[in-house]
Structure 1
């Protein structure tokens, strides 16, 4: 026989019925509290949490309907089943409207009682599971949004500190201070990573080794301007940072701050590499990538290798951007070295194709 361990409060002023219910449900392994009045029931409800309350409707003093109402005030998630032998259907319907999950007519046999109790508890578990899932989803979305918003300023801090230390000797008075800033920023990045872990996002870099789309195999398509990179990010601090990093490596760089500006830019110049932020207002990275792909295809120009930058799930991004030119996806905050290495990989890919 299957055993259970839920806590059940039985409220019944007929002692014989009370003892019968207690005996039946204890055999199934439930933790039973049995009382013979509404007053006693309310005292227990205030002291202990119950999964289910089984209460007779007709009792002296505090009746079953009052117990139902008080139970829902004290513990809304507790299931309530009312027992009746005299009440009209109007009373039963009223009880169901007030939150009772079921009702049992007296006299009831052992199997019916056990079945009704189990069904009510199973339903309660499903509802609580759905509520917890919804709560977790909201928490997860909030954490994801917060971590994403923190990533941009953190990327700017880490990246600019790295650039500044490149120009300073290690014995310079400012060098050690900059390293302290860098270390603190990296600790913040670790905190953001923990927030991502709660959300279920792994920090990885995904790079495609194969050609991105079949259209690139055709020799009829013109090559883009070699070495020209377009940076697209709505955060000016980020576009300036990426521009400085890549210009230090002697790349030709253009930077814009929206998807619309990116579309204007590609009409004036063909780019070999596009660094594209996923989360932008008005036109996000997905839509921008789609429109860039459509434009280059119409013009019969080889698609640029696009590096997607995000604070979210990089694997999901590459899946979503399949066959649209996404070469790689990187997480913010990212090290300057990672950006440079990925651009070099993209450059090699373009030259091979």
Structure 2
């Protein structure tokens, strides 16, 4: 196998208990973590953002990752953590939304070091295995040829069940005209963070190794922990135009207490935030948290503040009784902001 076929990066160290306790306290808060065992409190759902669409989540005490990439390559240190610290969280599972570098470039090394079980399509699993010299455990949820709307149900353990739904990646579609049209969103790129966080050679090399990683299919995940329902997806596709059957599948799911969804995408330049709104309408969340809206790729992206007004304007198009509360995370202040998203389990 030639170097062009390998994505391998240096293996991460296996974390010690001391490192796990420190990482969990940093991500989830001192009061949420037992200082001796590292156990996370079981009566809450705790969510910590570490850039782009990547989150560390404690669901009733079970730690999982949603996507697995610490943004870097064009910048270094903008997100104040490392793959080694994320691996030190000792997640039980890693859920990959799709396989592009900005979502899964650290999945293999983090899974190998932490012992986490990867979940994703067959292609996501194959890409992660190329990233490491070691055996990874991976649950395959369909493949790149699975049909939008296909779903997969399983239990992570007793009391924590998961539904994965195949959907589609964001894509530009022709401008929708008429009274229901959404205004284009074209934020000015923000170069400021390259100046203050210039990339290191190692981070640039990591990006170069992973930048061509294939999508491998796109999955949305819904987690049910007791009566609490959390839904997450790292891309928002033009379902209204290209896969309306996915909206039927999402409407059939239980109503989300919290919905963490991508708002930045290719269709924002022609159809604004119409696509993210279509997911919100179908999932009917009480709370909506945007993701994939930070300055993860300066030159092309802007800080999350640029999406605040467009998102609120788009949500205002919903009937008042159907509008979720918006919990806006803004970079860089809300990276690893423990306690910003904490929900009690009934």
TM-score, reference length from structure 1: 0.26
More relative contact order, 1 or 2 (CA 8 Å, 6+ apart): 2
**Bigger proportion of residues as helix:** 1
